[in-house]
Amino acid sequence: MPPTLRLPRPDGTITPYTLSGRVPAPAAPGPIASRIGMAAVHVVADPLADLNPTLDVALDWDATLRFRHHVWSLGLAVAEAMDTAQRGMGFLWDNARELIKRSVAESKTVPGAVLASGAGTDHLQPGPRITLADVEAAYEEQCGWIEGCGGRIILMASRALAACAKSPDDYVKVYGRILSQVREPVIIHWLGEMFDPALAGYWGSADRDRQTETLLAIVSEYASRIDGVKISLLDQAREIAMRRRFPPSVRMYTGDDFDYPTTIRGDGQRHSDALLGIFDVIAPAASAALKALDRGDVAAYERILAPTLPLSRHVFGAPTRFYKTGVVFAAWLNGHQAHFRMVGGLESARSIVHLARQFVLMDEAGLLADPDRAAARMRHVLALAGIE
């Protein structure tokens, strides 16, 4: 019999829930051809390190790298050291440098593995004395490190640039300088303020249309230096409108964790590739769905991804920046790590009611690899909240 747990509800009641017994969609072997599917992946904290978890960082390197192998084994690509890995939320550039070095080296041992790593300016603290030249130097340092490791670059948004830029022209200047120096085309990441409030007004304006035009101008001028653009605005209509205006050589990587199935499927003119934090959680389903697209089986693609969407919308619910807690929670439930501890103590950033709902949605989507194990681990979390 499937296990039954007592789960809390938003109204304060506790009700029994019996697992459905659904299992993940079987993953077909081999690479994915019709789309690029990148999972922005999390890091695994070392729970036994003797440190203050709100101030210091220690990783379980074996578990962290093992999860990347899991993603590669499904034919997906890995986006490393991005916001899913808690960049800007406890995971510092000093930590990210080592992570990038190890991950790039690890990727070289896996035939066909695709990896790209986040370059930003997070070692540069925003302040009144920070100049555009400082931002450029910070970007150059991180891009240089990634290229020196033999990696590919995802050019992340900069809090320091958002703080010191005075106009859209300042963004054009900084991005132009960096793009003119990179060795191979990069992915530009526009991270919206729902993911990071410090990025409000990015591209030199609070108006979405003006922001869009500034980024489109950069893409047009430097198209040969840009592989694609990842849009994390949770705005499907804007993403579709922007990708129609991209040069043919520039990809749109959806970062819309609310509406990814339709943007990836496409509208008959263009489609989005994927660079998604939720792919960390739903990697087996994402792989099976994209391989269904490879076969031209759109119905199977939609059938596989449809039940993952309520889960994703819940994990990325407001305050969206705390979605990382749900990502690591899912990895723990599925046995990819032995504990539910996070860098910065972020395991406490979601309520027990929120986590209980995520557990149900993962079960309904067939994303509990071992339901008995997941139920046993969920009981530990419930016990800590006083639910025996």
Checking if the pLDDT of 26 tops 90, the result is no
Mean pLDDT confidence for 229-257: 97
Give the mean pLDDT of the chain.
96
Percentage of the chain beyond pLDDT 90 is 95
Report whether pLDDT(268) > 90. Answer: no
Facing residues of 115 across strands? Answer: 78
pTM: 0.96
- In sequence order, what are the residues at sequence separation of 6 or more whose Cβ sits closer than 8 angstroms to the Cβ of residue 108? 150
Percent of the chain with pLDDT over 70: 100
- pLDDT for 388 equals 87
State the average pLDDT over residues 193-203: 96
The alpha-helical segments, DSSP class H, found in the chain are 61-73, 93-107, 132-148, 159-164, 168-179, 208-221, 236-245, 260-265, 278-281, 283-294, 298-305, 308-315, 323-333, 352-364, 371-384
The domains of the chain are located at: 34-314
Distances (CA, A) of 338 to 64, 213, 373, 377, 381: 11, 46, 11, 10, 13
> What's the sign of the alpha-carbon dihedral 237, 25, 322, 277?
negative
pLDDT at 348: 96
At 369, the pLDDT band (50, 70, 90 cuts) reads very high
Q: Residue 151: pLDDT above 80? A: yes
| CATH classification for the domain delimited by 34-314, as one of 3.20.20.70, 2.40.50.140, 3.60.10.10, 3.90.1150.10 | 3.20.20.70
Helix axes 208-221, 168-179, angle to 10 degrees: 30
- 74: nearest Cα among 32, 116, 117: 32
Give 36's contacts (C-beta < 8 A, 6+ positions apart).
Answer: 77, 114, 251, 253, 273, 274
**Residue 23: pLDDT above 90?**
no
What is the structure's pLDDT at 340? Answer: 98
